[in-house]
Amino acid sequence: MLEQNMAVWKERALPVITSKLEELHMLGYERATVDEIWKVVLKKRKKKTEEPLMHDLINDILRVTPTDYMNWLTTEAITNDDWMSTFEDFKKEN
């Protein structure tokens, strides 16, 4: 049920997520996407066990910093199963 709520909440929070996306783009993070920002928020929410209220979720979105985004991006790159093959391809090119 929580996953269903999160999908609905993502849709309702889309204007706020878009605003955060525009903020990150203005700061030079042009490759950031709405889905990535949402995943950063979900990762932060994962630590909390209770179901969030909508205003808590909006607060979490507004509190995403460029550092939060880059930490999430780095973690995703390292934990991605294909990371080593990408690294090997890079080594072959250089």
Q: What is the pLDDT of residues 42-53, one digit of tens each?
A: 998 887 777 778
For residues 63-74, average pLDDT: 94
Q: Are 54 and 12 in contact (CB under 8 A)?
A: yes
The label of the residue with tokens 């605003």 reads: 19
For residues 30-37, average pLDDT: 95
For residues 17-38, average pLDDT: 96
The contacts of residue 2 (CB under 8 Å, 6+ apart) are 51
Query: 33 by DSSP, 3-state: which?
Result: coil
- What is the separation of C-alpha 48 from the centre of its chain, rounded to a whole number of angstroms? 16
Q: Across the chain, what does the average pLDDT equal?
A: 85
pLDDT of residue 82: 64
For residues 6-10, average pLDDT: 87
